[in-house]
Structure 1
């Protein structure tokens, strides 16, 4: 291959660029959402799907110069319907799926005969188990795990020397999982979670928070920060400024570790935010970002390899050569031992970026982003081994 100058333009001389078209499926398992105390933040009807659509548009922008086309097929499965059967039908048309579904559904889809040799992306399930003993070699993860988010938050608290912690957690499975991740992170960073309480109120906190929360938090003992675990976004908003002791709140309110937020503006993020807002008419959320990153990762792999073969693309995604510009200040890449997308974790309030983990001083022998979540030496995932 050689470079040629022709009529003032730089031209790459070599084999002709192959034309290819990559169909991508976006599969959403719609869930019955239980009632919560406040409806101020409804879940967008196109959560995730809007991010995938923007990723397709971005891929097309590059692909038009290379003869590469991209198409998106979005399928939403209503509650009670068979999402695994829907996935099997989609896999007859494409070998690439981005999926918004709970962990059990993801595993059932990944184990389908039709999914063998395919590339699947988990855009919403934070379960650490999916990156550990329940991992699948055809299942990548662009949403951060609960362990990554917990490590990011406690890294920041350790950095600030706020090491005495108390915790309130909800009773639901997702709350239990994130609380477990916070306990693990506390041990990892040499911190202690002292008194813990489980949230059990069913009263209307919109009226009673000022009376109930101080009494509920009175027995938490002295602490630097109160961790609040509320993955359903139900009660956490009523905790700040109502606690018995005047302390910062972190976790599901106050300082929150996320994949993405509207307050992320550095590193060119404002440009991504603007394009998403123009297309979707709302702010980008974490699941939108994860879906966008999945589609863009495929596009980057196709661009670099010139191939639409799943095995070729999978090998490239897991290689040291793969990098994705993710508007987070560092190039993103996939962990070769469990398919998790390495990425910085913004720590945000509702109106500002507080910090972004990994923070200075938390070192790693290979990649500082591997201080967040399950690192290779402790991983129990074996499905990505050659």
Structure 2
């Protein structure tokens, strides 16, 4: 009899959750693209890149949702190269107001501008394009992947702390290389460092055999510098630069010390547990795009749990409010910038085998949030869609 009050309370609680039962359908929409060839075939691109992170987050949402009476579902739509992406987006939006996008920046904008997408909540998990967070921002798009400038700011904070003030840069010719190179130059200027020399990598020789001969000559022309920056976002030539340079200098950027959203070497703050669960699910290590997709789906789950609603307008308002926090296994709670929809997050600076540091670095203060020292701050942003 002494357990009767507890049993009655449990029944009442279950009845409350039963009344609060809501459905949360989501769609993972991917535009398949043709990736440029690289000199090495060592790095294979997983067929489930991004999708695996979303699936792990779905499992996480269901763990809480089952208890709360929230029914999460996720459909995956992959559009082949040359396929009808807009038609697929219309199909997705007909069934869900929550769409996780794995698509180039131009396609993100095409989808965001659809009439059917205006009341929806879209998550960009694959494009680091600066314009999406700046003058081309859309009020219905949130960004969980760090921008190029967030990553380059993180690296420049570290370089400044090491007093590596004189920089040299080698950039590739692909669009993503050029964009990251521009971000690196902008960040260097922001933190008061000089770019002493720049060169474009345009070799078509097989560096697997010629690196020891070609790279010293190529880098000799860079002159004196403290740190050599590499903008090689497709992983083409950067691996052949380190230990072959004319001057013995540290290498960073796309190679060497790399600023990333996530890496297998991130193990603190409970990250090892997330890494283990992802490995069990996907049979591989979690990559930045996986983490971005995970964060997007978990954002939806956290917002639904806190508001008890599946209304995208209600969830968007809560996600952009000061009350929203996402436990992201990076040592501090993550939140969204209410001026451009970017997820605030620390940026790990990693090598292949270790976490060297995590930005923002100590001493970089901000009147609102130290994470806003990374990337476009409100006064710098040209985004007006969130006003």
TM-score higher than 0.5 here?
yes
Q: Secondary structure at the match of 1:76?
A: strand
Q: Secondary structure at the match of 1:181?
A: helix
Query: Does structure 1 residue 24 correspond to structure 2 residue 35?
Result: no
Residue 7 of structure 1, CA deviation: 5.8
> Unaligned 5+ residue runs, structure 2?
none
Q: Identify the residue that residue 171 of structure 1 maps to in structure 2.
A: 173
Distance 1:39 1:9, change over 3 A: farther
Q: Identify the residue that residue 191 of structure 1 maps to in structure 2.
A: 193
Q: Identify the residue that residue 205 of structure 2 maps to in structure 1.
A: 203
Q: Secondary structure at the match of 1:53?
A: helix
Q: Is the 8 Å Cα contact of residues 164 and 194 (structure 1) preserved in structure 2?
A: yes
Q: Identify the residue that residue 259 of structure 1 maps to in structure 2.
A: 261
Q: Is the 8 Å Cα contact of residues 263 and 351 (structure 1) preserved in structure 2?
A: yes
Could you tell me how far apart the structure 2 residues matched to 1:368 and 1:138 are? 25
Give TM-score scaled by structure 2 length: 0.96
Could you tell me how far apart the structure 1 residues matched to 2:91 and 2:5 are? 49
Q: Secondary structure at the match of 1:288?
A: helix
Q: Identify the residue that residue 81 of structure 1 maps to in structure 2.
A: 83
Distance 1:215 1:8, change over 3 A: farther
Number of residue pairs the alignment of both structures matches: 382
Query: Does structure 1 residue 320 correspond to structure 2 residue 322?
Result: yes
Residue 357 of structure 1, CA deviation: 0.2
Q: Secondary structure at the match of 1:325?
A: coil
Residue 85 of structure 1, CA deviation: 1.5
Q: Identify the residue that residue 354 of structure 2 maps to in structure 1.
A: 352
Query: Does structure 1 residue 243 correspond to structure 2 residue 281?
Result: no
Off by >6 Å, runs of 4+ in structure 1: 8-15
Deviation string, structure 1 residues 250-286 (Cα, Å, up to 9, x no partner): 0010000000000000000000000000000000000
Q: Is the 8 Å Cα contact of residues 149 and 257 (structure 1) preserved in structure 2?
A: yes
Q: Identify the residue that residue 218 of structure 2 maps to in structure 1.
A: 216
Residue 6 of structure 1, CA deviation: 2.1
Q: Identify the residue that residue 6 of structure 1 maps to in structure 2.
A: 6
Distance 1:89 1:357, change over 3 A: same
Aligned alpha-carbon RMSD (Å): 1.6
Deviation string, structure 1 residues 26-76 (Cα, Å, up to 9, x no partner): 011111112110111110000000000001000000111100111110111
Q: Identify the residue that residue 135 of structure 2 maps to in structure 1.
A: 133
Query: Does structure 1 residue 294 correspond to structure 2 residue 293?
Result: no
Distance 1:11 1:339, change over 3 A: farther
Could you tell me how far apart the structure 1 residues matched to 2:238 and 2:9 are? 58
Give TM-score scaled by structure 1 length: 0.97
Could you tell me how far apart the structure 2 residues matched to 1:14 and 1:377 are? 48
Q: In terms of mean alpha carbon deviation, does 231-240 or 4-13 score higher?
A: 4-13
Distance 1:9 1:262, change over 3 A: farther
Q: Identify the residue that residue 147 of structure 1 maps to in structure 2.
A: 149
Q: 1:72 aligns with which of 71, 74, 90?
A: 74
